[in-house]
Amino acid sequence: MRLRNVKGSKETIAASPLVIQNITEKKGHWNEIFEKEQPLYIEIGMGKGQFILEMARRNPDKNFIGIEKYSSVLVRALEKCEEFSGNNLRFIRMDAETITDVFDTHEISGIYLNFSDPWPKDRHAKRRLTYRDYWNRYNEILKPEGKVIFKTDNRPLFDFSLEEAVAAEWTLENVSYDLHHSPEAEGNVMTEYEAKFSSLGHPIHRLVASR
């Protein structure tokens, strides 16, 4: 799907104090950009930011970074933050492929992957955020007790993700093929896509993986 360019988005992002620049210089020192040193969680491919913003609101004892590679999408997340008074949320514009250049070994407490691009063609499998090379990158930056939580409505992508996690030697702690009708539904924070797809009757799939 072709993304519509939002006029002035790059300028808005560059001027926002919530968007961190010179990100490779922050490697190993990310908690220093927050008011308090707290466990740090990231969402990769955060879209318009509904999930990460709500997580920051509900969890003031944790720090959050939303990662998005498209300026036209990131700017919408910034708009949502205009009434957010907390100081535990920041954003980065980057491609997840270089994530180990940005975060240090065992620097992250948890990773959220929500409704990632499925890249449905087989030849594009390596671009999926749950391809085994990405699992290896997550292993490097996560704390030993850290977890990856992945949600999607795309069953082929979900099945692929389960296989890739196991191939990368991760442990599947919890797997749900219908999250909203499971015990894990309590406390679940929805993304924009999740609200849309679930309203259409699509089951939401979710996995939790650890080492």
Q: How would you class 106 by CB atoms within 10 Å of its CB: exposed for 0-12, middle for 13-18, buried for 19 or more?
A: middle
Residue 57: per-residue pLDDT: 97
DSSP three-state, residue 17: coil
- CB contact set of 25 (below 8 Å; sequence gap of 6+): none
Give the H or E element holding residue 54.
Answer: helix 50-58
Whole-number Å distance between alpha carbons of 190 and 129: 19
Mutual orientation of helices 71-80 and 50-58 as an angle, nearest 10°? 40
What pLDDT, on the 0 to 100 scale, is given for residue 2? 41
Cβ pair 67, 116 in contact under 8 A: no
Q: Is 61 a catalytic residue?
A: no
| Alpha helices, H only, 98-191 | 99-102, 132-141, 155-167
* CA angle centred on 171, ends 89 and 209, rounded to 5°: 20
User: For position 197, what pLDDT does the model report?
Assistant: 94
Q: Of 95, 101, 117, 133, which is the active-site residue?
A: 117
At residue 14, the pLDDT reads: 94
Q: Which parts of the chain sit beneath pLDDT 50?
A: 1-3
**Count of beta carbons in the 10 Å neighbourhood of residue 82:** 6
